[in-house]
C-alpha cells in the first residue's frame, strides 16, 4: 500500500466512527455513465447532469463499517473509464 493510501486510511479512521454513513461524490463522463450505473446497481445513487451534458455528478451514500470498505468502493469506481472521485 502506498504512503498516500496509508495516510488516507488513517484520516478516514480519525474522522469517522465505524459503522457510519459515508457520502461519495463522483464526476462521470456521459459515455461512462451506463457502466458506472452497472457497477453500483445495488447502491442508492442521485444524479445531476452538467449544463453541457458531458458529465454527470453522482452522489452515493452508503453505510460503511471500515476505512477498508470505503477504499474498496473508490477502487471499484476507478475501474470505470474517466471517473473522477471528489
Q: Closest by alpha carbon to 36, among 73, 64, 61?
A: 73
Using pLDDT thresholds of 50, 70 and 90, give the confidence band for residue 29.
very high
The whole domain housing 10 covers: 3-85
The pLDDT of residue 3 is 92
Number of domains within the chain: 1
Q: What is the mean pLDDT of the chain?
A: 96
pLDDT (mean) for 16-41: 97
CATH of the domain at 54: 3.30.70.260
pLDDT 10s digits, 35-64: 999 999 999 999 999 999 999 999 999 999
Residue 75 pLDDT grade (very low, low, confident, very high; cuts 50, 70, 90): very high
For residues 26-49, one letter each, b for 16 or more C-beta atoms within 10 angstroms of the residue's C-beta and e for the rest, the string is bebbeebbebbbebbeeeeeeeee
Amino acid at each position: 500500500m502506498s504512503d498516500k493510501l496509508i495516510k488516507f486510511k488513517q484520516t478516514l479512521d480519525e474522522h469517522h466512527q465505524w459503522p457510519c454513513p459515508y457520502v461519495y461524490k463522483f464526476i462521470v463522463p456521459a459515455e461512462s455513465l451506463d457502466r458506472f450505473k452497472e457497477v453500483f446497481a445495488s447502491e442508492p445513487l442521485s444524479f445531476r447532469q452538467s449544463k453541457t451534458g458531458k458529465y454527470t455528478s453522482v452522489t452515493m451514500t452508503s453505510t460503511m463499517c471500515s476505512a477498508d470498505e470505503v477504499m474498496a468502493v473508490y477502487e471499484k469506481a476507478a475501474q470505470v473509464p474517466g471517473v473522477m472521485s471528489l
